[in-house]
């Protein structure tokens, strides 16, 4: 089963992402903030984390760096998304993310990106 | 001696010790027309004795032939050539040079009359050359017992010295008069010149007054506007500033500042841009109207300053003065930043629901396709397209806001501009199905610029070209090197741009007048111009309404 963890503080977007990934056959876990991410990563063990950057008092980029530097989760792929222009100045080498997605996005492009990461994981 | 011994009595009239007595005594007269001395008439002898005895210059001329006898006092008048030959000879023989003038006078006296002349001018040749002389003289007849005229008695004083002095005096007074006249004339001229000078002075005074007035109003205007003023000498680079300018750069009123120091106070992300623009303005007469943030030297305060300068060449042509004003635009800038923050925030807030809308629509499209509800496919595709357009507009606003608040810096690198064009040509072939887009460059053109931003400019220009030209037409891209710049052109076969719109086109929010049906906010060209300006490049359009447009831009080559 393809497991994906989606974190976004905007309820409508979170629900929408849950719907489309579920319909694509993913096992989906939705979180409105990254507060309990560590336990979810351990219990749910997602292959991919799709996460917003600006989430109230939480910063997606900080969480991403935490995951990427944590030796417990070496295989977890992280995709960052934002409606701001952060990616005009942030490069993946700085966030250590496996991909950047600008909102609004084309869902086909997002599927392609996630599939690509899953293939890497499989390989 | 002989005569003395022989005729003692006969010689008594020349017994005196005078030089002339001796001369007469010594001379042998026997062969002369007068005959031997002892035979001379008593009257003659008596007259000679009288003359010789006189201390006053005198002579007598005896007989019709006017034989001359003179005394020692007269002797100097004869000069060096006439004496002693003249003694006892007819006077006419001794004074041939003046005989024409004085001969008739003697004649008159021989006829019984006297002659008296004062300061009579005669040109004598008595020292080897003609000489102007003046004499006071009287000629009077020597009358015999019978009343007959026996000769002429002459009293004469030479007055040459006095006369010459008089002449000199006259000449002098004449020349004094002339000088005086000249002086008078000069004085008149001087008076006139003085009057003119006074008029000029009056005029000058008025001019100075006007100048002072205009200076005062300028100073008042500058003070009222709170402008700082500076002045740069193109050769010495002397930087003259007003206290207000130093204050704007965070210095005390009396602290010194040099141009390099002022540039150092400019915030780093703007420093190169301002410095380059400044140098270009001073040495290439480039335009200088820049707005930049400055961190105060002492107060560490951030101020946004706008500086406008004008170059003025010295009449000598050897150097130029670069003068300008600086004003504090922090408040304006803060307002602008607030506005840009607002635009940025609004755009972000709009994009969030748009993300949901767009994703749901795509999901819907997929479900419709699966369900085979063909009649719904077209409307959903339309909605998706409209949402995409909306996203692009919002993206444009965000770009603008970001650019204006200068949060984005140029990330310059060396890259092949022609290579970028080739890359974009392929992308356009994918994205823009409505037009034929061709890139004609083959040679690489290495530039030093922000690759992404330049790509954004080309994207925008090609996007515009597609927007404003008929479907199926061709859009040509070129990239060439010219001297030290790279030039890129994008040529379309579209509706073209009227001459008066060609400059306005690059202004913010400006849209062409005849494109009411075409979407957009007039941000793209403004942003493109901003990006190219930040690169110290130029952007412009060549176009004729109805005949298509060619947009050009330049960026510096890598070197």
Listed by start position, the domains of chain B span 2-158, 225-328, 334-404, 412-556
The structure tokens 């690759």 sit at B451
**The pLDDT value given to residue B5:** 45
Report the interhelical angle of A11-23 vs B330-371 (nearest 10°).
Answer: 30
Is B370 part of the contact surface with chain A (CB cutoff 8 Å)? no
Residues 6+ apart with CB under 8 A from B196: none
Q: Give the closest of A23, A83, A106 to B348, CB-based.
A: A83
The stretches of B321-438 forming alpha helices (DSSP H) are 330-371, 374-404, 417-431
Number of domains in chain A: 1
**The pLDDT value given to residue A78:** 95
What share of chain B has pLDDT > 90, as a percent?
Answer: 37
Helices (H) and strands (E) in chain B, counts: 14, 17
**CB-CB contact of A41 with A73 (8 Å):** yes
CATH topology of domain B412-556: Heat Shock Protein 90 (3.30.565)
Q: Give the closest of B344, B358, B407 to A104, CB-based.
A: B358
Estimate to the nearest angstrom the gap between the alpha carbon of B371 and the chain centroid.
Answer: 90
The strand pair at A26-31 and A2-7 is best described as parallel
Is A86 part of the contact surface with chain B (CB cutoff 8 Å)? no
Q: Which residue of A has its CA nearest to B360?
A: A16
Tokens of B499: 């001459």
Per-residue pLDDT at A16 exceeds 70:
yes
Is A22 part of the contact surface with chain B (CB cutoff 8 Å)? no
Q: Which residues of B touch A106 (CB under 8 A)?
A: 358, 362
Q: Which residues of B touch A108 (CB under 8 A)?
A: 362
- CATH 3.30.450.20 is right for the domain spanning B2-158: yes
| Angstrom distance (rounded) from CA B466 to CA B429 | 12
CATH number of the domain enclosing A40? 3.40.50.2300
Per-residue pLDDT at A98 exceeds 90:
yes
Per-residue pLDDT at A46 exceeds 70:
yes
| Angstrom distance (rounded) from CA B197 to CA B191 | 10
**Residue A109 belongs to domain spanning:** 2-122
**The pLDDT value given to residue B511:** 58
Residue contact B363–A19, C-beta within 8 A: yes
Residue contact A85–B398, C-beta within 8 A: yes
Q: Which residues of A touch B362 (CB under 8 A)?
A: 20, 106-108
The strand pair at B412-416 and B446-450 is best described as antiparallel
Q: Which residues of A touch B353 (CB under 8 A)?
A: 12
**The pLDDT value given to residue B3:** 46
Is B456 part of the contact surface with chain A (CB cutoff 8 Å)? no
**The pLDDT value given to residue B554:** 94
| Angstrom distance (rounded) from CA A65 to CA A77 | 12
The structure tokens 């193109």 sit at B234
ipTM of this complex: 0.89
H or E element, residue B542:
strand B539-543
**The pLDDT value given to residue B237:** 86
**The pLDDT value given to residue B394:** 82
**The pLDDT value given to residue B305:** 92
| Angstrom distance (rounded) from CA B72 to CA B51 | 9
Calculate how close chain B gets to A82, using CA atoms only, in Å.
Answer: 9
**The pLDDT value given to residue B509:** 62
| Angstrom distance (rounded) from CA B503 to CA B306 | 22
In chain B, which stretches have pLDDT less than 70?
1-10, 402-409, 508-522
Q: Is the fold of B2-158 the same as that of B225-328? A: yes
Residue contact B359–A107, C-beta within 8 A: yes
| Angstrom distance (rounded) from CA B356 to CA A105 | 9
The architecture in CATH of the region B225-328 reads: 2-Layer Sandwich (3.30)
**The pLDDT value given to residue B458:** 94
**The pLDDT value given to residue B197:** 92
Distances (CA, A) of B552 to B250, B460, B477, B555: 41, 12, 10, 10
């Amino acid at each position: 089963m393809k497991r994906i963890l989606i974190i976004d503080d905007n309820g409508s977007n979170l629900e929408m992402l849950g719907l489309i990934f579920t319909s694509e056959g993913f096992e989906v876990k939705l979180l409105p903030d990254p507060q309990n991410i560590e336990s979810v990563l351990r219990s749910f063990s997602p292959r991919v984390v799709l996460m917003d950057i600006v989430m109230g008092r939480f910063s997606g980029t900080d969480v991403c760096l935490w995951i990427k530097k944590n030796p417990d989760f070496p295989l977890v792929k992280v995709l960052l998304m934002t409606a701001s222009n952060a990616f005009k100045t942030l490069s993946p080498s700085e966030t250590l993310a496996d991909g950047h997605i600008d909102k609004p996005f084309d869902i086909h492009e997002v599927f392609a990106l996630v599939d690509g990461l899953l293939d890497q994981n499989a390989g | 001696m002989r005569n003395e011994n022989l005729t003692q009595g006969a010689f008594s009239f020349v017994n005196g010790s005078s030089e002339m007595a001796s001369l007469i005594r010594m001379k042998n007269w026997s062969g002369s027309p007068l005959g031997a001395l002892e035979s001379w008439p008593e009257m003659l002898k008596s007259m000679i004795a009288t003359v010789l005895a006189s201390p006053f210059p005198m002579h007598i001329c005896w007989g019709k032939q006017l034989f001359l006898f003179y005394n020692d006092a007269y002797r100097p008048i004869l000069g060096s050539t006439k004496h002693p030959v003249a003694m006892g000879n007819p006077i006419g023989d001794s004074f041939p040079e003046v005989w024409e003038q004085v001969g008739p006078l003697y004649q008159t006296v021989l006829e019984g009359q006297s002659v008296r002349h004062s300061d009579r001018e005669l040109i004598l040749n008595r020292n080897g050359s003609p000489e102007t002389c003046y004499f006071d003289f009287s000629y009077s007849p020597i009358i015999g017992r019978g009343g007959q005229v026996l000769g002429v008695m002459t009293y004469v004083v030479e007055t040459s010295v006095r006369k010459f002095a008089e002449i000199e005096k006259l000449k002098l007074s004449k020349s004094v008069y002339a000088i005086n006249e000249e002086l008078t004339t000069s004085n008149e001229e001087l008076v006139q010149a003085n009057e003119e000078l006074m008029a000029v002075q009056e005029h000058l005074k008025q001019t100075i007054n006007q100048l002072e007035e205009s200076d005062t109003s300028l100073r008042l205007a500058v003070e009222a506007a709170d402008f700082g003023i500076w002045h740069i000498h193109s050769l010495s680079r002397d930087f003259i500033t007003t206290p207000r300018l130093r204050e704007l750069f965070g210095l005390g009123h009396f602290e010194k500042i040099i141009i390099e120091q002022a540039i150092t106070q400019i915030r780093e992300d703007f420093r190169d841009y301002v410095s380059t623009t400044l140098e270009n303005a001073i040495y290439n007469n480039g335009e200088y109207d820049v707005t930049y943030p400055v961190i105060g030297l002492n107060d560490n305060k951030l101020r946004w300053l706008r500086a406008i300068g004008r170059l003025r060449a010295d009449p000598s042509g050897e150097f130029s003065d670069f003068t300008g004003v600086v004003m504090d635009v922090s408040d304006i800038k803060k307002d602008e930043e607030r506005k840009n923050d607002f635009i940025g925030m609004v755009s972000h807030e709009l994009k969030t629901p748009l993300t949901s809308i767009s994703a749901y629509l795509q999901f819907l499209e997929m479900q419709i396709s699966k369900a085979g509800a063909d009649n719904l496919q077209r409307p959903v595709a339309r909605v998706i397209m409209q949402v995409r357009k909306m996203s692009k507009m919002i993206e444009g606003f965000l770009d603008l806001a970001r650019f204006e608040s200068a949060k984005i810096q140029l990330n310059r690198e060396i890259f092949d501009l022609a290579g970028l064009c080739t890359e974009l040509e392929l992308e356009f072939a994918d994205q823009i199905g409505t037009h034929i887009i061709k890139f004609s460059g083959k040679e690489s053109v290495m530039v030093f610029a922000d690759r992404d931003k330049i790509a954004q400019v080309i994207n925008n220009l090609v996007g515009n070209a597609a927007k404003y030209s008929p479907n199926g037409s061709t859009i040509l891209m070129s990239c060439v090197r010219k001297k030290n710049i790279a030039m890129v052109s994008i040529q379309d076969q579209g509706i073209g741009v009227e001459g008066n719109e060609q400059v306005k086109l690059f202004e913010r929010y400006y849209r062409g007048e005849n494109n009411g049906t075409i979407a957009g906010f007039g941000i793209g060209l403004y942003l493109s111009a901003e990006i190219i300006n930040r690169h110290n490049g130029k952007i412009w359009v060549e176009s004729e309404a109805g005949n298509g447009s060619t947009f050009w831009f330049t960026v510096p080559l890598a070197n």
